[in-house]
Structure 1
Amino acid sequence: MMLYTNTDSMWCKVFPSTLGGIAQSWFDKIPKGTITSFRQLDILFRSQYVANIARERMTGELMSVVQGLQESLRDYISRFNLEASNIPKLQQEVVVLAMMSGPRGGEFKSYLGRKSFTTLAEVLEKANEFIKSEEIGRETS
């Protein structure tokens, strides 16, 4: 529902319909007549629930996603992609750098060190080739 209005009284009346659960209970406990403007309600609500505001994740945080000692390349790539999907403004240069520094030593890491990539898609395409090779090697062993 879109609401086009500039009146404080309308915003104050509509606001409770957007709440549920403990936020609704909190709102219901506000003594009648104590809120005089929507701005005041906004400040009161934000101060009550400031800890619940999700922080936007940054691309640089992917630098901490590294392949575990016993983690397969497939599992690492899946975990990396999951983390990357939670970052709204993914910067390709940084995500490529993070992907290149995350794998533990081995053929894939060595290969990444010799090549230049500009997008995550390029790195993932190569990773998929190494994953297939790694899995075929395990099956024949």
Structure 2
Amino acid sequence: MPMCKYDSRGDLNRYITSYEGNMILYTNFDVVWCKVFPTTLTGAASDWTSGELMAVEQKLDESLRDYIRRFNNEANTIPKLQQEIAVMALMSGLNNCEFKRYLIRKSLPTLAAAFNKAHDYIKGEELLKTISKTVR
């Protein structure tokens, strides 16, 4: 995959041209280009990509477990992820639920702390589904 790196100090146009040239050698699928791009950023340039987590939103019928898994997968593609931004993005993308109300009240310092608390809510959500199925 691309050997080019960008740290925000060099010529951005030259970097983009180099990145495109490298990617064309490997694939022409846009989704791959988008996934690989953040891994080529270093230093201050890697901070740019933290904002892309804001676009990860829980779907209407998506369980908390599935949303957390999808969010975590996206977060893992971002080098040097800023934890405060990640927690804010996680909260922002949640549907109106008990876990979101919890995050609003608390100030969790890291994504790992938020995921640990989410696990408690996931267990509760899944227990309620099990109970409602057995009551029918």
Q: What is the TM-score normalised by the length of structure 2?
A: 0.65
Paired position in structure 2 for 1:79? 70
| Amino acid aligned to 1:128 | H
Paired position in structure 2 for 1:49? 21
| Identity in percent | 51
Structure 2 gaps, min length 5:
1-16, 25-32, 40-48
Question: Greater share of helix residues, 1 or 2?
Answer: 2
Aligned residues: 97
| Amino acid aligned to 2:125 | E
Alpha-carbon separation, structure 2, partners of 1:105 and 1:118: 21
Alpha-carbon separation, structure 1, partners of 2:21 and 2:113: 41
Q: What is the TM-score normalised by the length of structure 1?
A: 0.63
CA distance 1:95–1:47, shift in 2 (3 Å): closer
- The alignment status of 1:95 with 2:95, answered yes or no, reads no
Paired position in structure 1 for 2:115? 124
Root-mean-square deviation (CA), in Å?
A: 2.2
Higher-Rg member (1/2): 1
What is the SS of the residue equivalent to 1:66? coil
Q: Give a deviation string over 1:53-112, Cα, whole Å, max 9, x none.
A: 742261110011010000000000000000011111211111111111111001111111
Structure 1 gaps, min length 5:
1-44
Return the offset for 1:51: 5.0
